[in-house]
Amino acid sequence: MFSSLTSNIIIFAIATLAIIVAGTRLTRLADELADRTGLGEALFGVLLLAGVTSLPDFAATLSAAMDSRPDLAMSNVMGSMAVNLAFLGVADMVYRKANLEHAAASSVNLMLAALLIVLLTLPLLAIVSPSVARWSVHPVTPVIVVAYLFGLHLVERARIKPMWFPRHTRQTVPDTPEQQHSGTLMAAWLSFLALAVVIGLAGWVLMEAAKGIADLTGLSDTVVGGLLTALATSSPELVTTIAAIRYGALTLAVSNIFGTNCFNMLVVAAADAGYPGGSIYHDMAPVQMTWGLVSILMTAILLLGMVRRETYGIGRIGFESAAILSVYVAALSIILMTA
């Protein structure tokens, strides 16, 4: 899309900055709309904030898939899911009052973590299964969509009629709606939608610049997708999660990460549907499985942490946060060495 390496880097940086700025403002609106609509932080984070913060991944991944670059597409979305989970470790460092997984405990977040593990196994099964495609789509792709929708139904049931309750402690921060908000509800929704459009367009531009960087530098699509674009397109998750913590919306912070990763499985399905070469799962390099397996491992570690609910860890950082950050660094090193 852009002719020189310098112009691609500049556009990449501008798109990343646009995502960060829009994501910061989006968090305050999401917290406000969660209160004013009655959906609550957890459900709003899953249904709406997660979908919006996933727009850069959606635009970037679909753009690469339609351009017949399966490694760039899948390394971007799979790498984004791993780095999103690592962001929870960073968020735990920011929140100093207690371990984040302890303070933001909820049945919805437990359900989301379990749902994510289920969804992550599906594309991995597609990779090791025979190369079969119907109407250029692998049979696992519609299963991902159905599993996601059914999973949301289970999450909603867990919110309305939970069968598990976290033990309330002095460090637990419940989702308590604020009563006073300035401006009208319509104005808040319009601002939310406008920021969503900005984030989506910035994600598409970012991937176009990333493809130019890969072509002009000779870096592999796996490295560019798993490192550059994954970090850039995931910047809304980091920004919104940190901002939510500073606003005191801890449930929104955690549900946004898990909800985004669950939504990203629809991005995987869209990449397979948009890929012109048949099943995308069988045209990408085997190293892409690493990101999927690492994301499952990191999610399982976080699930253990949310069930155990350690109040304070070493340096007030939970064992699960230290573990997932170590796993991510190790996985990133493996990708860079094997790419």
122-136 pLDDT per residue, tens: 999 988 887 776 767
pLDDT above 90 for 319: no
- Which structural domains are found in the chain, ordered by start? 5-173+182-338 (1.20.1420.30)
Share of the chain above pLDDT 90, in %: 13
171 burial type by CB count under 10 A (0-12 exposed, 13-18 middle, 19+ buried):
middle
Q: Give the residue-averaged pLDDT of 88-104.
A: 78
| Range with top average pLDDT, 96-105, 271-280, 297-306 | 297-306
Report d(CA 309, CA 307) in Å as an integer. 6
Report d(CA 339, CA 332) in Å as an integer. 10
Q: Give the residue-averaged pLDDT of 62-86.
A: 86
Identify the pLDDT of residue 181: 59
236 pLDDT band, cuts 50/70/90, is confident
Average of per-residue pLDDT values in the chain: 80
Identify the pLDDT of residue 163: 76
Identify the pLDDT of residue 252: 75
Any residues with CB less than 8 A from the CB of 333 and at least 6 apart, and which? none
Apex CA 236: angle with CA 140 and CA 45, to 5°? 65
Residue with tokens 């799979």: 78
Identify the pLDDT of residue 145: 94
Q: Give the residue-averaged pLDDT of 5-12.
A: 84
146 pLDDT band, cuts 50/70/90, is very high
Any residues with CB less than 8 A from the CB of 186 and at least 6 apart, and which? none
The answer to whether 75 and 291 have CB atoms below 8 angstroms apart is yes
pTM: 0.82
Share of the chain above pLDDT 70, in %: 90
Q: What is the pLDDT of residues 154-201, one digit of tens each?
A: 888 887 887 777 777 766 665 555 555 566 778 888 888 888 888 878
